[in-house]
Amino acid sequence: MPTYSLQREILMEEPYDLVVAGAGPAGCAAAVCAGRLGARVLLVEAMGCLGGMATSGLVTAFDPMANGERMIVGGFMAELVETMWARGFIPAGVTPDYWRKFYHRWTPFNAEGLKLLLDEMALAAPVEIRLFTRVIDADANAAARHVNGVVIQNIEGYRFVAAKTFVDATGDAVLADLCGAACREPGRDTPAAMPPTLCSLYAGIDWERAEKRHPDKFKNEQELLEKAIADGMFTQPDRHLPGMWKAGDQVGYLNAGHIFGVNALRGKDLTDAMILGRKLAAEYTAFYRKYMPGCEKIEHVTTASLLGVRESRRIVGEYELTLDDYMARRQFPDQIGVFNKFVDIHVHNTSHEEYERFLLEKDKYRLGEGEFFGIPYSILVPAGWDNLWVAGRCNSSDVPVHGSIRVQPAAAMMGQAVGTAATQAMRTGQPAGDLDTAALVEALREQGAYLPQTQLSRQMTRR
Ligand SMILES: Cc1cc2nc3c(=O)[nH]c(=O)nc-3n(C[C@H](O)[C@H](O)[C@H](O)COP(=O)(O)OP(=O)(O)OC[C@H]3O[C@@H](n4cnc5c(N)ncnc54)[C@H](O)[C@@H]3O)c2cc1C
């Protein structure tokens, strides 16, 4: 494509200590934790609310936070889910054992409740929130691996915002890429990405009449789906159905309809995916109405405004967390969280073989009850950069481990870690790559993180 050069003067905002790009679970945790530690924080979010995939993406269930014996996700995320429960934002029938104890159990929640709570937590921290605002460029010294500031864009036009530190929590490593940090892209550096899904909300479900696996999940979706596929209900015979989850008395959140062949870093692909996602959602509405007891009168309230992207660009970090680490249940001196979720790599096509592959891997790469693996700090530091961190989906892990830690509780732990690390870096003058990680771990423990490693190290784990 030809290039075009444009030069213009833009207004400069007052500088911040920390700019966080993206307000999903990772960005919110980073911003709130840094704000609480006294940093002047700007949280920049492209959509109209905080929460990212959890709210704008209508992914209204937290992945497992316990391992069958105890809650292994603490800190900000534990505070969030406990407050959601206390405020009545967790559906009836779901008990605290879901997140405090059970093995591999999802905790559904009310998305409006989460929006409200995140607003309150951010304002109280305090954090300055800028909604409907996108980070579109960066002024970075790629040789010195230092970020000076970002260009943001909203209704007021372009603004330059300088800061001492930066967190990329965009999910797609947008800021890291704009800065020139090394990144891996699916289809270029790793196999093609998992397909996205456009999630939906439904009303009018008679959960009492439905046959259920546990209070918030249907029992027999898979068998009924196979029948509906055989009956010709669907444009594509997608056998992998994460399914409908109870999100309120008569409400369900649907995670269904893989959209194959999408590169989530291409604007046209995202557009086409939203259009096909809405068509698929209409097909699933017809499916549930016709086949699922309790769903005869459901109404499709809305599809999400954010496409459910599972996998896109990730940074090349100081360390890459691998399947070997995962299978070894490896503990790291600088781990900022521990986790237990299975390797969840969704189907790449509609074949029977691919669905069998998914089922096989899901059980093969799964830790047992009471177990966990560590998430080291160094997967959040773009290699060599001194005032830039990432958190959430764009972390440095191989494809299988990413399939485990791409989810909301892990993203929130990463966010808490980098928000805390950024404030420590400002206070001590230590760059991201030479941060005293023993001090970071102690600070996170004080904030309620569950970090059971017995050995600490001043240095982070490196490859
Ligand atoms: C279909 C689907 C189902 C899932 N199911 C579950 C589940 O059941 N439980 C679970 O825990 N997890 C689930 N996940 C995973 C999880 O929701 C996400 O991976 C997680 O939210 C990642 O958190 P994040 O903060 O890294 O990114 P996100 O939640 O994606 O947030 C990134 C935010 O950055 C914003 N942004 C992007 N670019 C810019 C920019 N340039 N400037 C400003 N803002 C920007 C976006 O608008 C967004 O709000 C699911 C994911 C998908 C796609």
Burial of 423 (0-12, 13-18, 19+ CB in 10 A): buried
pLDDT tens profile 351-379: 999 999 999 999 999 999 999 999 999 99
Mean pLDDT of the chain: 97
Ligand 1 center to residue 311 CA distance, Å?
Answer: 10
Ligand 1 center to residue 3 CA distance, Å?
Answer: 31
Question: Taking 90 as the threshold, does the pLDDT of residue 278 lie above it?
Answer: yes
C-alpha radius of gyration, the chain, whole number? 21
In DSSP terms, 254 is beta-bridged to 200, 244
**Whose C-alpha lies nearest to ligand 1, atom 21?**
53
Q: Ligand 1 within 6 A of 308 CB?
A: yes
CA 309, 311, 312, 314 torsion-angle sign: positive
CA-closest candidate to residue 347, choices 259, 410, 266: 259
Residue 363's pLDDT is: 92
Q: Ligand 1 within 6 A of 127 CB?
A: no
Q: Ligand 1 within 6 A of 23 CB?
A: yes
**Whose C-alpha lies nearest to ligand 1, atom 2?**
308
pTM of the entire structure? 0.98
* pLDDT > 90 in the chain, percent: 96
Ligand 1 center to residue 209 CA distance, Å?
Answer: 33
Pair type for strands 251-255 and 243-248: antiparallel
Q: Ligand 1 within 6 A of 248 CB?
A: no
DSSP run (H or E) holding 306: none
**Whose C-alpha lies nearest to ligand 1, atom 16?**
407
Question: Taking 90 as the threshold, does the pLDDT of residue 349 lie above it?
Answer: yes
Q: Work out the average pLDDT over 241-270.
A: 96
Query: DSSP code of 281?
Result: H
CA 13 to chain centre: 29
Question: Taking 90 as the threshold, does the pLDDT of residue 114 lie above it?
Answer: yes
Residue 213's pLDDT is: 87
Mutate to test the pocket of ligand 1, among 408, 414, 416, 418 (most ligand atoms within 8 A of CB): 408
Ligand 1 center to residue 61 CA distance, Å?
Answer: 12
Q: How far apart are CA 212 and CA 36, in angstroms?
A: 42
Question: Taking 90 as the threshold, does the pLDDT of residue 250 lie above it?
Answer: yes
Residue 83's pLDDT is: 98
DSSP run (H or E) holding 82: helix 75-86
Which tokens hold the place of 113?
């409740």
344 φ, ψ to 5°? -110, 80
Pair type for strands 388-390 and 157-168: parallel
Alpha helices in 169-213 (DSSP H): 174-179
Asked if residues 261 and 187 have their Cβ atoms less than 8 Å apart, the reply is no
Residue 217's pLDDT is: 87
Residue 406 CA, closest ligand 1 atom number: 19
Q: Work out the average pLDDT over 442-457.
A: 98
pLDDT tens profile 393-418: 999 999 999 999 999 999 999 999 99
In DSSP terms, 404 is beta-bridged to none
CA-closest candidate to residue 27, choices 131, 153, 155, 141: 131
Residue 210 confidence class, pLDDT cut points 50, 70, 90:
confident
Pair type for strands 11-12 and 157-168: parallel
Q: Ligand 1 within 6 A of 315 CB?
A: no
Q: Work out the average pLDDT over 131-148.
A: 97
Ligand 1 center to residue 246 CA distance, Å?
Answer: 20
Euclidean distance between the first and the last CA atom of the chain, given in angstroms as a whole number: 37
Ligand 1 center to residue 397 CA distance, Å?
Answer: 17
Q: How far apart are CA 457 and CA 107, in angstroms?
A: 34
Q: How far apart are CA 37 and CA 35, in angstroms?
A: 5
Angle (CA) 221-225-228 rounded to 5° is 140
158 φ, ψ to 5°? -100, 145
DSSP run (H or E) holding 136: strand 134-141
| CB atoms closer than 10 angstroms to residue 356 | 12
Q: How many helices (H) and strands (E) does the chain have?
A: 12, 20
DSSP run (H or E) holding 23: none
Residue 463 confidence class, pLDDT cut points 50, 70, 90:
confident
Domains along the sequence of the chain with CATH: 10-190+311-463 (3.50.50.60), 200-303 (no CATH)
Ligand 1 center to residue 174 CA distance, Å?
Answer: 13
Q: How far apart are CA 67 and CA 73, in angstroms?
A: 10
Q: Ligand 1 within 6 A of 408 CB?
A: yes
Question: Taking 90 as the threshold, does the pLDDT of residue 212 lie above it?
Answer: no
Mutate to test the pocket of ligand 1, among 45, 53, 246, 284 (most ligand atoms within 8 A of CB): 53
Ligand 1 center to residue 54 CA distance, Å?
Answer: 7
- What contacts 223, CB < 8 A, 6 or more positions away? none
Q: Which of 3-17, 69-83, 211-225, 299-313 has the lowest mean pLDDT?
A: 211-225
Q: Ligand 1 within 6 A of 193 CB?
A: no
Ligand 1 center to residue 7 CA distance, Å?
Answer: 33
CA-closest candidate to residue 42, choices 129, 112, 138, 103: 129
